[in-house]
Amino acid sequence: MRMFAAQYHRFGPPEVLVTGSYEEPHAGPGQVRIRVAAAGIAPVDLAIRAGLSRGQISLPHVPGVDAAGIIDEIGPGVSGYAVGDEVFGTVDLKRLGGASAEFAVLGFWASKPGKLPWVQAGAAGTSIETATRALDLLDVGAGTTLLIDGAAGGVGSVAVQLAAARGARVVGTGRPGSQDFIAGLGATPVVAGPDLVGRAVELGVSAVLDVAGAGRLAALTTITDAVLTIADFSAAEHGVRMSVGALGGEPDGQHGLQIAAALVEQGQGQGRFRVPVQEVFALEDMAAAHAAAGSGHRRGKIAVWTGLVDSQDD
């Protein structure tokens, strides 16, 4: 059987992306297949499409590692879920893609909270996974004052909220135009300028998470020894730990997704957690979505809406 999917037949710029017919995937052991409502665009999607991180990718390739939708097929060994359940999560990471399509196979997932809009759920998976792992490695909790360098981006905006939910005090760096956005997430905003180190010391920062990869590791290590990066591959030169995340071979199950889902359900409105989404594109406009995701400074994620469920909002 065939489905419609965004895909590319050669590596290159966003313009290589087209939408057309593609063979349907099916759920294997420990997996579920969903009819996709929304998907997200992660940095790894851009790198693979550009040919910078090909791995075992074969062409044509359907991009996307994050998705949300309605289960329509359950693989052997899966319990606690049924056809028709609404879920969000990440694809089978061995495929490094497949989310931007009519159907996608998930390897990690959790039940989608009713308060979480589809586009937020679709963009959430790897950001939650990456942020949760990083906070665990830094042992962030009550009593921690955590500096997140790059707090306005897709992972940073999620990490701010998850750290605050653990009882940590959070300081977040960003451009001058992002200060109010960062404050709205629950962090003390600071500009990532020449006085960053002095400001961090003044605020009592005890741990640092670098998600920006802006070449500031040497400076950040003068604040504290507890520094972790997910974005700067020069980490070893500075004696800094690096976590490459689930997409780099550190799969860590579903607990981060479940924690975030529980936070969404707490409190009023969308609860204590949201996935900031800067812009939403139709699946047919995937080239424009990739261009937007790679355009530089963003506030949150870029999401793709398939139109396969009744509404973008619950």
Residue pLDDT, tens place only, 10-55? 999 999 999 999 999 999 999 999 999 999 999 889 999 999 876 6
Helix, strand, or coil here: 96? coil
pTM over 0.75: yes
Around 103, how many Cα atoms within 13 Å sit in the side-chain half-sphere? Answer: 18
Helix, strand, or coil here: 182? helix
Which ranges of the chain have pLDDT less than 70?
A: 54-55, 245-253, 267-271, 311-314
Answer CATH for 2-124+274-305 from 3.40.50.720, 3.90.180.10, 1.10.287.3510, 3.90.320.10: 3.90.180.10
* Nearest-5° Cα angle at 254, 35 to 302: 55
The per-residue pLDDT for 314 is 44
CA dist., res. 100 & res. 97, Å (int): 8
Say which CATH superfamily domain 128-243 falls into. Answer: NAD(P)-binding Rossmann-like Domain (3.40.50.720)
Please state at what angle helix 255-265 crosses helix 154-165, rounded to 10 degrees.
70
The per-residue pLDDT for 250 is 47
Sorted by where each begins, the domain ranges of the chain are 2-124+274-305, 128-243
The answer to whether 293 and 21 have CB atoms below 8 angstroms apart is no
Q: Where are the strands (E) in 126-176, listed by range?
A: 145-149, 169-174
The per-residue pLDDT for 50 is 94
Q: Would you say the C-alpha torsion 130, 134, 139, 145 has a positive or negative sign? A: negative
CA dist., res. 230 & res. 210, Å (int): 6
The answer to whether 171 and 149 have CB atoms below 8 angstroms apart is no
CA 249 to chain centre: 16
Please count the helices (runs of H) and the strands (runs of E) in the chain: 9, 14
Question: Residue 260: what are its φ and ψ, rounded to 5°?
Answer: -65, -40
pLDDT tens digits, 53-66: 766 789 999 999 99
CA 261 to chain centre: 14
